[in-house]
Amino acid sequence: MNINGYKWEKGHLKIATDVRNALLNGDAVVALESTIISHGMPYPQNLHTAKEVEAIIRENGTIPATIAILDGVPCIGLSNEELEKLAKLGTKAQKTARRDIAHVVAICGNGATTVSATMFFASMVGIPIFVTGGIGGVHRYGEQTMDISSDLTELGKTPVAVISAGIKSILDITKTLEYLETQGVTVGAYKTNEFPAFFTESSGCEVSCRLDTPEECARLINANLTFRLGTGTLIAVPIPKEHSASGNLIEVATQKALKEARDKNVVGNSATPFLLARVNELTEGASLAANIALVKNNALIGAQIAVSLAKLRHTSFTRRSAL
């Protein structure tokens, strides 16, 4: 069976039946990462959140495809049992970026996919839209450490649209946007002229591409795919006003967490989970509550965009067929 030019073989890649059927029919599908389940929050809150996010996507006419590697097999779409397995594994599952895929598969391990790995698998099977909380980026003091997330280079070479609440606020947002420009990635903001800052609506950084409706987002994504630009698209959706945490509170906690990370020499893959967990502790749970709220909001907007994109591509196909 061929999906997006990729020959699917049992045992090599597992695609959930509803995801496979939707892709073959050209229906709307939204990819979801799995590190938010394994490393983002404890069990059973992680399982409840994952199911709620998938439900939001389904309720808005789209098929969710949570991506993970289980027992060495990349899975595109998880069953309830597989979701629960991953949730219970928690941090025992390896945080899996693109560089880690071959290793996790080779050892028949369990891997929770980050943004870069999720984009890779989504593109492989032809899922054009991926919803997450926030992407990685250039770490603060990145000019000294060269700590730059592989999410950014993935966006520069993988044609998947990422719907997020922006860049995690523990990172250097200005430098990250500069890096994305260098990578040729179109960065849009939803219903605002200013790039959101994950936990808060504003980062102080303006964007040149404002998108006010799901249809406008779909046209942007479709244009990127039509011209085969070869890059991803980042659409940043501000956290809802009622869930926006105090910017000053988050920033004070972030600065403290960054200092602790430097003092403890927490670097690489361990840095982001440590910082997010510490900021949550320092804000007494406010940052985690905001994180869950923004992920659900992103799922809603992402599903609406996916439906609009599927309709647009169906219409374009019908017109070409009629010529």
As annotated, the active-site residues are 33, 168
Sign for the pseudo-dihedral over CA of 86, 91, 92, 93: positive
Count CB neighbours of 58 within 10 A: 15
Total residues belonging to the chain: 323
Contact between 68 and 78 (Cβ < 8 Å): yes
Distances (CA, A) of 31 to 23, 119, 140, 165, 254: 12, 8, 29, 16, 29
Angle between the N-to-C axes of helices 286-322 and 45-59, in degrees from 0 to 180, rounded to the nearest 10 = 30
- Residue 264: φ, ψ to 5°: -95, 0
Query: How is the chain split among helix, strand and coil, in percent rounded to 5?
Result: 50, 20, 30
Q: Burial of 7 by CB count in 10 Å (0-12 exposed, 13-18 middle, 19+ buried)?
A: exposed
Instruction: Compute the distance between CA of residue 284 and CA of residue 302 in angstroms, rounded to an integer.
Output: 29
Tokens representing residue 156 in the block:
């520069």
* Cβ contacts of 36 within 8 Å, gap of 6 or more: 46, 49, 50, 132, 133, 295
Tokens representing residue 39 in the block:
């490393």
Contact between 195 and 177 (Cβ < 8 Å): yes
Instruction: Compute the distance between CA of residue 276 and CA of residue 270 in angstroms, rounded to an integer.
Output: 10
Contact between 30 and 306 (Cβ < 8 Å): yes
Contact between 47 and 37 (Cβ < 8 Å): yes
